């Protein structure tokens, strides 16, 4: 059987394109002690992909998922032409080598997460936590202990927030470490 007909998945992915300067900068960033492990692993992944290593080999070598390997290969390939274009400004001295380094690092950062933006500020969370530390009787609530529902109602009534669910109050309080007495 030939290599492509072994019945074990698809043919190896082609090496990703990378200029010599991009490769040198990535290797330098990857060697620095101040580079985060996450960034260093992404750099290793791209350098291995540039050398023609298979996705499954990279996956095993770096102990990451196959989807992660494919995702970073796709992101690099999608941004490659922009990176080459940006690098050409270096020759005209329109950008500095440091600018190119920063541009490469920005390519390797996480994309913004999907989902609704945060609507409750940290200051509002702190006010809700402070409210939970006060006795309910101070707010004419006839209860020995706060419920999440009553905290939500009082927070709205006090104008801390325009609206909040009892579940959100619970999530805010759960994030706080409990004090041992």
User: pLDDT digit string (tens) for 48-57?
Assistant: 999 999 999 9
Q: How far apart are CA 46 and CA 49, in angstroms?
A: 5
* The residue count for the chain: 181
Sequence-distant (6+) residues with CB within 8 A of 11 are 3, 4
The pLDDT, as a whole number, for residue 181 is: 41
The low-confidence residues of the chain, meaning pLDDT below 50, are 1-7, 180-181
Q: Are the beta carbons of 66 and 138 closer than 8 angstroms?
A: no
Sequence-distant (6+) residues with CB within 8 A of 22 are 83, 87, 104
To the question of pTM greater than 0.85 for the whole model, the response is no
Q: Report residue 36 as tokens.
A: 């985060």
Q: How far apart are CA 35 and CA 27, in angstroms?
A: 11
Q: How far apart are CA 67 and CA 54, in angstroms?
A: 13
3-class SS at 114?
coil
List, for residues 92-111, the tens digit of each pLDDT value.
888 889 999 999 999 999 88
Q: How far apart are CA 43 and CA 38, in angstroms?
A: 9
């Amino acid at each position: 059987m030939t290599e492509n007909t072994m019945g074990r998945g698809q043919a190896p992915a082609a090496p990703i394109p990378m200029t010599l300067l991009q490769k040198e900068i990535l290797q330098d960033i990857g060697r620095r002690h101040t580079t985060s492990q996450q960034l260093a692993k992404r750099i290793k992944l791209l350098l291995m992909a540039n050398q023609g290593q298979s996705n499954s080999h990279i996956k095993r070598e770096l102990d990451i998922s196959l989807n992660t390997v494919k995702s970073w290969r796709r992101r690099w390939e999608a941004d490659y032409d922009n990176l080459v274009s940006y690098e050409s400004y270096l020759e005209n001295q329109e950008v500095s080598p440091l600018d190119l380094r920063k541009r490469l690092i920005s390519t390797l950062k996480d994309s913004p997460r999907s989902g609704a933006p945060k609507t409750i500020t940290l200051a509002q969370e702190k006010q809700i936590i402070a409210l939970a530390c006060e006795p309910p009787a101070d707010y004419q609530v006839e209860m020995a202990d706060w419920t999440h529902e009553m905290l939500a109602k009082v927070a709205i009534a006090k104008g801390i927030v325009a609206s909040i669910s009892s579940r959100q109050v619970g999530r805010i309080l759960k994030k706080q470490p409990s004090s041992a007495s």
